[in-house]
Chain A
Amino acid sequence: MNIKTAGIDIGSRTLKVVILNECGLVDFRIVSTGVDPIGRAKEILKDYNYDMLAATGYGRHLAQAHFNCSVMTEIRAFAIGAHHLFPKCQTVIDVGGQDSKIIKIADGRVADFEMNDRCAAGTGRFLEVMANTLGYSIEDFYREALQAKSSVSINSMCTVFAESEVISLIARGEDPKNIALGLHQSILNRLLAMMGRIGFEDDIIMAGGVAKNRCMVSLLGKKLGKKLFVPEEPQIVGALGAALVAEKERRKI
């Protein structure tokens, strides 16, 4: 009963570790990635006596070089993790720190995916910068947005340009709540465009750090006209997927 596998997801903003045994989740950790992700990972992993490790996320190849473990993309890891938590899941919306992805699942495997390219437009980092510009904490940012009476349209998708746009809106005397809602709306539009390209089916799961943003989840659910399922810990879905792959590999040996 003590056999454990570990999954590590080194993202652009946060590093996630999931520990499993045969009964299920034993423990998980979420820390900021920082400038020394391998140091962080080692520090966390030394607390656990695991038999097999697999890595995913932006830093997966770095992890592979240090831990000699198998790797997979976040896209596969999120698909596996989401399918494990919600067996009827056919679409995963993963909005993380640096990129956003729409993943289509068929028979528990990735059937197709869309991913933003290049910059941080439409990602968690975008929301973080905007919250900061408005002087809100991440939590207050979506709470205030949920109380907005109307939404201000934000035209720039680029994080840098949008920031100047927000500053001029503040200078114009716009209600920060309405600006906050407008910013959420602009990410929503981008996600909807990606979903339109690839198509989506029930059940839809939202994961990644931005799934903790209740305004985002509520806007998206309303727009899709469908219930959006959010895991209890949306950030660790990728690390969970990696741990499940590690478990599969352990059984092979």
Chain B
Amino acid sequence: MSNYEKMWQELGLDVGLHNEVLASIDRTFQQTVGNQKHRPERMKYFDNVLHESHGGRIAEILEAKSKGNKMIGTFCIYVPDEIAMAVDVIPIALCGGTNFSVPYAEKTFPRDICPLVKSTLGLAFSKTCPYAPIKSMAVGETTCDAKKKTWDILAQKVNFHVMELPQKKENIDVQLWHKEVREFKDKVEGLAEKKIDSNKLAQAIKIMNNKRRALEELNELRKNEPAPISGLDALVVMQAALNDEPVRFTLKLNELNLELGERIHKNISPFIKGAKRIMIAGCPAVMGNWKVHFLVESAGAAIIIDESCTGTRYFDNLVDERPTDLDGQLSAIADRYMKINCACFTPNNERIEDVVKKAKNYNVDGVVQYILQYCHGYNVEAIRVDGALKKANVPSLKIETDYSEEDVGQLRTRIEAFLERLK
């Protein structure tokens, strides 16, 4: 750790407080993910990605920076990574999942905004996010009001670009998004001081598509009864996906997938026989946040699929690899990202249909709608999702919670009662 401390000091972090943040995240990790039995051997790599996200990964990015490459921070899976990668810009998702930093945001921000935004800001404000000082630009988007207004404040201090995400899915909205994707291209070109060429972009598209294919394969493996991997471990893989270098990540994920195939063959599963198959639908659970997944699985259920930004919304749909000209490629990218069914859209029928379809395809016994407190989009949309699931005869439970531990007792009772209902 001592080498890293020197690095953090040079980056201007509050090293003492930063150590406390890491200790707090690690404690939560050990109590949840680390507490599981029968984990796949190859999960070690992904655990390590999370452990090194403030250490080794930072050193790696600093090394790339010394060669003239840049890093950008993102806060949404709508930001197209492949465009940045095509000019050797490293995109890193900076969303916070730790409760530790929330009070640091609440010093200036209203308390009634979502814990993900507060955790992210708290890390930046308390000088405990090592990505903040090394990023060359931050990229925001217009998915929710709390984020939009946060960008105004951050933009006063750092190089900030906002992608305008349309709120409807009509032609005119799709056109806006195509324009935004091209503007993003111009921005990263300016940052990297080089032009994107179509060969390099084709390569980046392929890298990201391969990553999506590997994640899709993991999802297919999870479908098996009994599932070869816990939902908590699959979540760790997703959290690593938002941080790790994509080629290496895909390689390691393919290795994990092979192991999971063998586990299925040998009938090895972390779950007891007959464990209820649960789908999580709704908000993302980013690194540091294992709360609801842990509660659901420690109550004896098996999470089989996640319909969230740390689940299928991240890897569903590939970018069409056929276009070879730059304009065609950018359009293909815009079209793929436009298919992410974020609750910021009105209407968002595609998501509701998708949740029901996945619940059926994955043969789940019930759906837990996971809502981050104050996330109005997913919270209100939960009513329609619940209605559609009821029609399809799939029981569902809505849980609205933040990152704190104060409601764990009551949540446990509600989750266990929901599972009892499924018997």
Contacts and interface: CB of A to CB of B under 8 A. Distances in A.
A75 B413 CA distance: 8
B413 A118 contact: no
A58 to B, nearest CB: 6
Q: Looking at chain B's contact residues, is the secondary structure mostly helix, strand, loop, or mixed?
A: helix
A58 B410 CA distance: 8
Interface string A108-134: 011111011110000000000000000
A188 interface: no
Given A115-B413, A115-B414, A76 B406 contact: no
B409 A58 contact: yes
A113 B417 CA distance: 8
Contacts of A72: 416, 420
Nearest to A110: B421
Q: Looking at chain A's contact residues, is the secondary structure mostly helix, strand, loop, or mixed?
A: mixed
Interface string A55-99: 000100000000000001111100000000000000000000001
B10 interface: no
A62 to B, nearest CB: 11
B407 interface: yes
B420 A117 contact: no
Interface in B365-423: 400-401, 406-407, 409-411, 413-414, 416-417, 420-421
Interface size band for A:
10 to 19
B413 A73 contact: yes
A58 B414 CA distance: 11
A72 B401 CA distance: 23
Contacts of B414: 113, 115, 117
Contacts of A75: 413, 417, 420
- Most chain B CB neighbours (cut-off 10 Å) among A73, A75, A112, A113: A73
Contact of A99 (B400, B410, B416): B410
A109 B406 CA distance: 30
A222 B406 CA distance: 36
B417 A110 contact: yes
Contacts of B411: 117
Interface in A117-163: 117-118
A112 B421 contact: yes
A116 to B, nearest CB: 8
Per CB-CB distance, the 6 closest pairs between chain A and chain B, nearest first, are A75-B417, A73-B417, A73-B416, A76-B420, A118-B407, A110-B421
7 contacts: A72-B416, A73-B416, A75-B413, A75-B420, A110-B421, A111-B421, A115-B414
Given A110-B420, A117-B407, 20 more contacts: A58-B409, A73-B416, A73-B417, A73-B420, A74-B417, A75-B413, A75-B420, A76-B417, A99-B413, A109-B421, A110-B417, A110-B421, A112-B421, A113-B421, A115-B413, A115-B414, A115-B417, A117-B410, A117-B411, A118-B407
Interface of A: 58, 72-76, 99, 109-113, 115-118
